[in-house]
Structure 1
């Protein structure tokens, strides 16, 4: 899960790294290679994607919440994906139990968001944007309602790219930035949920250097979103 990598990057100081240390965190998945074209639960949800962010730790680093529940390991799984079990026909595809995944995702992302806001001594009114793992529109809408999050703060690109798994948060951040929704120094509430089961939430401060895109990168972005 992308958020686990972010948490590791934000914990750099625990291992003796000085304030101001930076980490490049990359999330990429190609779920189209493991989807069952006959499975209506998964085939219309997931998309391929890749994204990256640079995380910098400072002395005012906000708290980060992480959680896991191994009893739900089989709710999102890919049987016979390793060497421990013989692969049978059709068993290499992703499998997901939709209803319990929905309930668990909403519960844990809402709870972790409440907790990280409490620890940060911030409220919804102090946020510039809310970027959740782009699981599906129903999950996002339910989380928004339970957090009393204004619609204008919610970033969503599901209709455009689907659930890109590990890439969903960096892709959503990039889209929000290009759409002018993120501002220098603004607080962004992030939350994610994934297989395992795992979940997390944190608050980051958005900082982007002026003229941060090279001409080559600008041309690539223009082509990729056309």
Structure 2
């Protein structure tokens, strides 16, 4: 596996080399008009670790693959890492894995997930509008969100659409959760949900281990 260290920059970085791990160090600041870091083809296995700051006027990190035949892209935001943009992250395709222990902020969407992917959050994902928006799932599979940190949004904390979703909460969900269509699963293991969970259409499953959840 190749390792490439990304330097501080004011231009978009294209992460297109197969079998490569890209690193944004603690001291690195990427501030771009447009997208900060972009994965824009189907090159075999790539990963990104962000310990510094990535800011893009449109998107901090964008994954453009519509399909990911080689297992997708793995993105890890460490405790010192921060992504900021109109979209904190914009993710297309399927088979990608996003792990956040730092901060992901978007003025409109903390994360827009247009596929069936995995999001594991132990940090903060937040937005002035929607914390995590998941919609337009591509291919088969389940869109998984596991929260051990904080997910928040003024309009909604989590809003899903036309895919099978599984949301597992151990942390803080500050805002409403909308499950959208299809047969979804919401697991309330621990923590808090300050808003309402809207099931909408589909045969949804709720696994509730504590009181304090409002379901409509």
TM-score (norm 1): 0.22
Bigger proportion of residues as helix: 1
Q: Which has the higher strand share?
A: 2
Q: Which structure has the higher relative contact order (CA within 8 Å, separation 6+)?
A: 1
TM-score in terms of structure 2 length: 0.22
Q: Larger Cα Rg: Structure 1 or Structure 2?
A: 1
